[in-house]
């Protein structure tokens, strides 16, 4: 299989590429990424050396039709998995425009190019956030693939829009595509604006940990390797036109997660700082992945506490990666945001 992975220099895409190269010896992977602030070449250090002739990198923008077509043609692409996106909710609140460009226009450009190139499979990596928010009370059932799309942030609105375009390209043009909707990922190589690495790096430096609102918002955590296995199953076995939810079966409040991080670091809870809530902050996510279990054989392998411990240990053991990811303009942005 000659596979195009878009957004492969990001957190999940880079873990996915490593998995495919390791577990599918016949696969050739082209990674197309425009190296936005979240794209990090260090996430794929050594893959060209470790998998000679099986990995190629193209710096290109999914919203640029000529670039997208050119990459598909040059690499004789047969299937595509799209991870490329602006992915951070807080940034979408500050400025929605890049989200429209990459997450909506970019996906439509890829769909059009995939049709022209007659790809055999297109996987759109979406998110559980398109379903909106659940109340905290457990009697409200988890999201299924039939739950209505009620996005609350500009980020989730852009992802829901892309999902609707994917549906339309399947119905109208018969493009053989699958949509996946996963809950919150954690694991190695996550950009440090997201809750777990963000709190870990701050705790290690004895910096205050800004917890939004009352800290009781709940996320359904899944290890990135479990998500990537699910995406690979959807690529290889998914029914054309289907949507598959993936979740970790691990609903935890933000305060719980932050306390676990502090325990791992041997730091005191006095570092926790309640701050103003995120506008439009979704209260709870919980994902019903029984369709993916029945049709694809998916189930998450990691327990949350063990997965978290291994993830934090990975960050501790990879100081060069951490220095690269937490220096430069990113750190400047964060210092400004918290008035430091």
**Residues 143, 288 contacting (CB under 8 angstroms):** yes
Q: Which residue out of 51, 55, 155, 315 is catalytically annotated?
A: 155
Q: 337 CB contacts (<8 Å, ≥6 apart)?
A: none
How many residues at the interface with ligand DAU, by CB under 6 A? Answer: 19
Residue 133 or 184 having the CB closest to ligand NAD: 184
- The minimum distance between CB 83 and ligand NAD, in angstroms, equals 4
State yes or no: residue 89 binds ligand DAU (CB under 6 A): yes
Both structure tokens of 168: 């339309």
Is 306 known to be catalytic?
A: no
The interface partner of residue 288, options being ligand NAD, ligand DAU, none and the CB cut-off 5 to 8 Å by kind, is none
Q: 81 CB contacts (<8 Å, ≥6 apart)?
A: 3, 4, 5, 6, 16, 123, 125, 231, 235
- Three-state SS for the chain is CEEEEECCCCHHHHHHHHHHHHHCCCCEEEEEECCCCCCCHHHHCCHHHHCCCCEEEEECCCCCHHHHHHHHHHCCCCEEEECCCCCCHHHHHHCCHHHHHHHHHHHHHHHHHHHHCCCCEEEEEEEHHHHCCECCCCCCCCECCCCCCCCCCHHHHHHHHHHHHHHHHHHHHCCCEEEEEECCEECCCCCCCCHHHHHHHHHHCCCCEEEECCCCCEEECEEHHHHHHHHHHHHHHCCCCCEEEECCCCEEEHHHHHHHHHHHHCCCHHHEEEECCCCCCCCECCECCHHHHHHHCCCCCCCHHHHHHHHHHHHHHCHHHHHHHCCHHHHHHHHHHCCC
State yes or no: residue 129 binds ligand DAU (CB under 6 A): yes
- The minimum distance between CB 258 and ligand DAU, in angstroms, equals 8
State yes or no: residue 61 binds ligand NAD (CB under 6 A): yes
Residue 215 or 238 having the CB closest to ligand DAU: 215
Binding-site string for ligand DAU from residue 250 to residue 279, where x marks contact by CB under 6 A and - marks none: ----x-----------------------x-
Stretch that binds ligand DAU, among 46-54, 63-71, 193-201, 310-318 (CB under 6 A): 193-201
- Among 3, 5, 12, 261, the residue binding ligand NAD under the rule CB under 6 A is 12
- Among 1, 2, 19, 35, the residue binding ligand NAD under the rule CB under 6 A is 35
Is 155 known to be catalytic?
A: yes
State yes or no: residue 195 binds ligand DAU (CB under 6 A): yes
Q: Which residue out of 86, 128, 282, 288 is catalytically annotated?
A: 128
State yes or no: residue 158 binds ligand DAU (CB under 6 A): no
- The minimum distance between CB 10 and ligand NAD, in angstroms, equals 2
Is 129 known to be catalytic?
A: yes
State yes or no: residue 37 binds ligand DAU (CB under 6 A): no
State yes or no: residue 70 binds ligand DAU (CB under 6 A): no
State yes or no: residue 86 binds ligand DAU (CB under 6 A): no
Residue ranges binding ligand NAD (CB under 6 A): 6-7, 9-13, 33-36, 38-39, 61-63, 83-87, 102, 106, 125, 127, 159, 182, 184-185, 191
Please identify every residue annotated as catalytic: 128-129, 155
Residue ranges binding ligand DAU (CB under 6 A): 87-89, 127-129, 183-184, 194-195, 198, 210-212, 217, 219, 254, 278, 285
């Amino acid at each position: 299989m000659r596979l195009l992975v878009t957004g492969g220099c990001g957190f999940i895409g880079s873990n996915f590429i490593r998995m495919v190269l390791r577990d599918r010896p016949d696969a050739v992977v082209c990674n197309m990424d425009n190296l936005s602030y979240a794209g990090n070449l260090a996430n794929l250090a050594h893959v060209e050396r470790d998998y000679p002739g099986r990995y190629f990198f193209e710096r290109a923008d999914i919203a640029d039709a000529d670039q997208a077509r050119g990459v598909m043609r040059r690499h004789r692409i047969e299937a595509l998995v799209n991870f490329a996106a602006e992915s951070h909710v807080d940034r979408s609140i500050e400025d929605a425009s890049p989200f429209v460009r990459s997450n909506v226009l970019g996906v439509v450009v890829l769909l059009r190019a995939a049709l022209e190139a007659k790809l055999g499979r297109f996987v759109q990596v979406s998110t559980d956030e398109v379903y909106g928010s659940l109340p905290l009370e457990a009697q409200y059932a988890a999201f299924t693939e039939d739950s209505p799309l009620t996005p609350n942030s500009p980020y989730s609105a852009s992802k829901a829009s892309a999902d609707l375009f994917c549906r339309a390209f399947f119905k109208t043009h018969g493009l053989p595509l699958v949509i996946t909707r996963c809950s919150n990922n954690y694991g190695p190589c996550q950009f440090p604006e997201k809750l777990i690495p963000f709190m870990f790096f701050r705790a290690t430096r004895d910096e205050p940990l800004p917890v939004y609102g009352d800290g009781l918002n709940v996320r359904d955590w899944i290890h990135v390797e479990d998500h990537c296995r699910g995406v690979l199953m959807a690529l290889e076995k998914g029914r054309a036109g289907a949507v598959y939810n993936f979740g970790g079966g691990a609903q935890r409040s933000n305060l719980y997660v932050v306390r676990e991080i502090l325990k791992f670091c041997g730091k005191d809870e006095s570092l926790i700082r309640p701050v103003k809530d995120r506008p439009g902050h979704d209260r709870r996510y919980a994902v019903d992945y029984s369709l993916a279990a029945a049709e694809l054989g998916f189930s998450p392998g990691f327990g949350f506490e063990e997965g978290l411990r291994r993830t934090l240990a990975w960050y501790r053991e990879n100081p060069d990666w951490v220095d690269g990811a937490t220096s430069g303009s990113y750190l400047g942005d964060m210092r400004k945001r918290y008035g430091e």
